[in-house]
């Protein structure tokens, strides 16, 4: 059974319960519970390597959880058959960290890709739709360029135009602010908010950029050690007294997350001290 009569699904597009995941023997997620209300921008934050991108891949069905459930639009993603999963993915969009544009196609063809693959629309209508999507991200003038000719910020915007080509219900962003200059940063944040509102999407933004994400999101989940350490509205998270949340939000060096990875004694490693017997 891949659907259920849970009426929460009407209110929440994404519902995750008790999600566990491990890469081989390395446990990454240890019981994640998360919900994303329809029409909202939800930020998933946490330190690098904390399993945020893995969580997106579990929502998209690219990975299978070791335990727990992932429900999108009322469908249990981890129990869907391949055909049904692909059908559900047509209602999702994902922006990868570095865009993942097809390098052998122009920007125009990248954006047209899904329209050509999944619809029988005539070429002139596809052209109009592509130009509309590119216009929405401010790149109509770059339609003829190849991905190698774009800057990092432009490539991500082009990838965003591609991801929204079929007007998805759920849009997932994997580190959309990483490596962008201040202007591109503002443009990216503004686009995520504007597209979510105008297209009526639900957006999941995986990021560790506190300032930009707090400015645009409705709800925040903070992950630490494979679990949700805190959740709430940005203003509540900002005032949180939880040590990890304080350290993360304010970027403090001292706190529950140590600066040094576990290592042998420093003096001993430098040969200044004999090992204790």
- Per CB under 8 A, residues contacting other proteins are 60, 62, 86-87, 89-90, 92-94, 96-98, 100-103, 113-114, 117-118, 159, 162-163
Pick the closer one to other proteins by CB: 114 or 247. Answer: 114
Closest distance to other proteins from the beta carbon of 186 (Å): 25
Closest distance to other proteins from the beta carbon of 254 (Å): 34
3 secondary structure, DSSP code: B
With residue 166 as reference, give the H or E element that holds it.
none
User: 148, 140 in Cβ contact below 8 A?
Assistant: no
Pick the closer one to other proteins by CB: 164 or 237. Answer: 164
Closest distance to other proteins from the beta carbon of 152 (Å): 13
Cα dihedral: 177, 181, 185, 191 (round 10): -100
Encoded tokens for 43:
């930020």
Pick the closer one to other proteins by CB: 57 or 246. Answer: 57
Encoded tokens for 112:
């047209």
Length of the chain: 277
Closest distance to other proteins from the beta carbon of 97 (Å): 8
Q: Which residues contact 180 (CB under 8 A, 6 or more apart)?
A: 152, 153, 156, 188
In order of 21, 62, 165, 276, the CA distances from 27 in angstroms are 6, 17, 35, 33
Closest distance to other proteins from the beta carbon of 271 (Å): 29
Pick the closer one to other proteins by CB: 175 or 212. Answer: 175
Please write down the long-range contacts of 139-145, taking CB distance under 8 Å and 24 or more positions apart: 139/107, 142/107, 143/106, 143/107, 143/108, 143/111, 144/106, 144/107, 144/108, 145/106, 145/107
Pick the closer one to other proteins by CB: 23 or 102. Answer: 102
User: 191, 163 in Cβ contact below 8 A?
Assistant: no
Pick the closer one to other proteins by CB: 100 or 199. Answer: 100
Pick the closer one to other proteins by CB: 164 or 210. Answer: 164
By CB atoms closer than 10 A (0-12, 13-18, 19+), residue 105 is middle
Closest distance to other proteins from the beta carbon of 225 (Å): 26
Closest distance to other proteins from the beta carbon of 117 (Å): 5
């Amino acid at each position: 059974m891949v659907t259920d009569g849970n009426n929460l699904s009407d209110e929440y597009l994404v519902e995750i319960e008790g999600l566990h995941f491990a890469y081989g023997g390395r446990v990454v997620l240890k019981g994640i519970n998360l919900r994303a209300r329809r029409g909202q921008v939800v930020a998933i934050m946490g330190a690098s390597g904390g399993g945020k991108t893995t969580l997106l891949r579990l929502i998209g069905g690219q990975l299978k959880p070791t335990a727990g459930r992932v429900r999108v639009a009322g469908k249990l993603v981890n129990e869907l058959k391949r055909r049904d999963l692909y059908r559900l993915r047509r209602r999702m969009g994902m922006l990868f960290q570095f865009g993942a544009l097809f390098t052998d196609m122009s920007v125009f063809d990248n954006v047209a890709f899904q329209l050509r693959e999944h619809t029988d629309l005539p070429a002139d209508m596809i052209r109009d739709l592509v130009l509309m999507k590119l216009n929405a991200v401010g790149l109509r003038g770059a339609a003829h360029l190849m991905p190698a000719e774009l800057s990092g910020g432009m490539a991500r915007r082009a990838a965003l135009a591609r991801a929204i080509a079929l007007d998805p219900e759920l849009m997932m962003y994997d580190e959309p602010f990483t490596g962008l200059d201040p202007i591109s940063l503002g443009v990216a944040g503004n686009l995520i908010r504007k597209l979510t509102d105008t297209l009526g999407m639900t957006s999941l933004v995986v990021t560790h950029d506190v300032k930009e994400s707090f400015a645009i999101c409705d709800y925040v989940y903070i992950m630490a050690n494979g679990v949700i350490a805190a959740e709430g509205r940005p203003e509540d998270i900002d005032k949180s007294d939880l040590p990890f949340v304080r350290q993360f939000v304010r970027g403090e060096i001292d706190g529950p997350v140590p600066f040094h990875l576990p290592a042998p004694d420093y003096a001993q490693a430098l040969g200044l001290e004999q090992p204790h017997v």
